[in-house]
């Protein structure tokens, strides 16, 4: 390597600390990333920073990938190299940035966490017939029965519920409305709750109210879901979106109908729904009444 290389690297790291006001932790992370680049250049007989070509820059990224680094780590190293060369170009110590246009591998989306059927069923077993228990049981059943988002359930109005037709009308992202089916267990839980629903304050039409008759806030709904999961012996932390994931996962396991699940979830793009296609589909069936474990009718 060129003798000026260490001076250039040190100048960049000092710039990060004194001008950009980066923390020592961040500065050290940049230093580690540039050390990897330095080792790569040594192996490729690239003697100076200004001699690194775009092809060699792509080779550096490919080497990180072959070493088994994750997409996030490669993105960070690539960002450090780009920033470093941007500094060198500004200082007149490099003619161009060889990392411009070099892309890191795309980071994969984490798979959604879902309850298994036994865990989901246990969570539905909210004991008691007092209004608070009836309300919470109805919320849990509806989350799992129909795959609602937290905001969708919190915004549900009395006129949105059609128990005779076993459907609810929800307003999702982008103010898009959809009608989704409600399983038998959820219908029974909703009926029991609505019979005990307190007198609403100021004529509020919300389905789920607090004990004072005011709309139930999303934070309160999250807290009740988490509390019941602990109370009923589930070992993992449970939140409303996990019930939505469980709805989609269990439905796809039984039906394999991705388009139908897209409609039920209210996804505008099927690519969003495809995150669930890691599942090993077991058999084809009708999408809702016969597929969802809490919508099936009992056999005589």
Q: What is the set of domains in the chain, with CATH numbers? A: 5-90 (1.10.150.130), 117-278 (1.10.443.10)
State residue 167's pLDDT score. Answer: 96
Distance of alpha carbon 161 from alpha carbon 186, whole angstroms: 12
Q: In this predicted model, what pLDDT tens digit does every residue of 199-210 receive, in sequence order?
A: 898 888 999 999
State residue 136's pLDDT score. Answer: 98
Distance of alpha carbon 104 from alpha carbon 70, whole angstroms: 10
State residue 143's pLDDT score. Answer: 97
> H helices then E strands: how many in the chain?
12, 3
Q: In this predicted model, what pLDDT tens digit does every residue of 18-52 receive, in sequence order?
A: 998 888 888 999 999 999 999 999 998 888 999 99
Q: In this predicted model, what pLDDT tens digit does every residue of 140-150 receive, in sequence order?
A: 999 999 999 99
Point out the residues that are catalytic. 149, 173, 241, 244, 267, 276
Percent of the chain with pLDDT over 70: 89
Contact partners, residue 171, CB within 8 Å, separation at least 6:
152, 155, 177
Q: What is the mean pLDDT of residues 117-131?
A: 95
Nearest to 238 by CA among 155, 154, 123, 134: 123
Q: In DSSP terms, which residues pair with 179 in a beta bridge?
A: 169
Distance of alpha carbon 228 from alpha carbon 134, whole angstroms: 13
- In 132-152, which positions are buried (b, 16+ CB within 10 angstroms) versus exposed (e)? ebbbbbbbbbbbbbbbbbbeb
Q: 298: which DSSP letter?
A: P
* Phi and psi torsions of 113, nearest 5°: -90, 135
Distance of alpha carbon 73 from alpha carbon 104, whole angstroms: 10
């Amino acid at each position: 390597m060129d003798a000026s290389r260490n001076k250039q690297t040190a100048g960049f790291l000092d710039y990060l600390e004194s001008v950009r006001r980066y923390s020592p932790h961040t500065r050290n992370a940049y230093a580690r990333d540039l050390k990897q680049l330095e080792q790569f250049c040594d192996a490729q007989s690239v003697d100076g920073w200004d001699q690194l070509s775009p092809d060699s820059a792509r080779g550096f990224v490919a080497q990180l990938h072959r070493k088994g680094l994750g997409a996030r780590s490669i993105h960070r190293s690539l960002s450090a190299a780009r920033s470093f060369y941007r500094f060198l170009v500004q200082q007149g110590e490099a003619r161009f940035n060889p990392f411009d246009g070099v892309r890191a591998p795309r980071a994969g989306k984490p798979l959604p966490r879902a309850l298994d059927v036994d865990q989901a069923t246990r969570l539905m077993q909210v004991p008691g017939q007092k209004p608070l228990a009836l309300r919470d049981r109805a919320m849990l059943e509806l989350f799992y029965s129909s795959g609602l988002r937290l905001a969708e359930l919190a915004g549900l109005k009395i006129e949105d519920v059609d128990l005779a037709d076993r459907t609810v009308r929800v307003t999702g992202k982008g103010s898009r409305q959809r009608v989704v089916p409600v399983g038998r267990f959820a219908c029974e839980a909703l009926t029991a709750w609505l019979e005990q629903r307190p007198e609403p304050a100021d004529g509020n039409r919300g389905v789920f109210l607090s004990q004072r008759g005011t709309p139930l806030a999303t934070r309160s709904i999250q807290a009740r879901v988490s509390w019941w999961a602990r109370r009923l012996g589930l070992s993992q932390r449970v939140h409303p979106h996990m019930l939505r994931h469980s709805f989609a996962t269990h439905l796809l396991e039984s039906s394999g109908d991705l388009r139908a699940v897209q409609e039920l979830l209210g996804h505008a793009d099927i690519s969003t729904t495809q995150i669930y296609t890691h599942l090993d589909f077991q058999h084809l069936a009708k999408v809702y009444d016969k597929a969802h474990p809490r919508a099936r009718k009992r056999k005589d």
